Amino acid sequence: MNVILLGPPGAGKGTQARKIVDEFDFDYISTGDMLRKEVESASRLGKIAKSYMNKGDLVPDSFIVEMIVDNLGELNARNLIDGFPRNISQAEALNKKLTENQQKIAVVLHMNVDDEELINRLSTRAVCILCQAPYKLKSPDENLIVKCNNSPNKDCIIKVRDDDNPKSVARRITVYKNETFPIVKYYKDLNVNLVDIDARGTEDEIFQEISKFIVV
């Protein structure tokens, strides 16, 4: 069973992905996490990716596909795919891979949030630099030295991601609308089960709605 999380940056895909993985025992396939690991390791792909991410641009398909192939190997029976595909070309490449494995997409969860809410969320979003645990800041200039949830006995530094600055955020939303949103029509034309999720509620409310469409 393959479930895709689709939505703009800041829609809460990562948060809901963790809940789905924990509740339904899915394998988590996140291009965002894979990209950040590549960037942190300063690998060849990471250096290339960072130059695009810091400007709010999408990393070119050729590098994304290479990274996905390197990390996925053979798709398992139950996968949650977060952050991929991001454009029609990638969607076609994913369908080809699934077809080769005699699999299909069970459902696409399309998370909807208005632009104003997205900008507010992203400008106060931070992560622990050690474990990538997410934190919600009260304001962009809040104290960034905290007790990490995963390491309560340590003072950890949390930081706003480089690509979450206001200029990059606006650019990423525009790129999403131009490059990624057309995938909604692509999947509908293929008669893939695509459902719209109102992602403006609390984390638990959103998860309750998502859970209705995951049948394992």
**What letter does residue 12 receive in the DSSP assignment?**
S
The single residue listed with the structure tokens 């939303």 is 173
User: Which residue out of 13, 36, 50, 121 is catalytically annotated?
Assistant: 13
Active-site entry in 36, 50, 86, 121: 86
Question: 20, exposed or middle or buried, with CB in 10 Å at 0-12, 13-18, 19+?
Answer: buried
Asked about 161 being catalytic, the answer comes back as yes
Our answer to whether residue 172 is catalytic in this structure is: yes
Active site residue 36: no
Q: Is 97 a catalytic residue?
A: no
Instruction: Choose the catalytic residue: 36, 50, 121, 125.
Output: 125
What is d(CA 55, CA 162) in angstroms, rounded to the nearest whole number? 9
Q: Which of 55, 97, 161, 200 is catalytic?
A: 161
Angle between the N-to-C axes of helices 31-40 and 61-72, in degrees from 0 to 180, rounded to the nearest 10: 100
54 phi and psi angles, rounded to 5 deg = -70, -20
Residue 4's SS3 state is: strand
Which of 36, 50, 121, 172 is labelled catalytic? 172
Residues labelled as active-site residues:
13, 86, 125, 161, 172
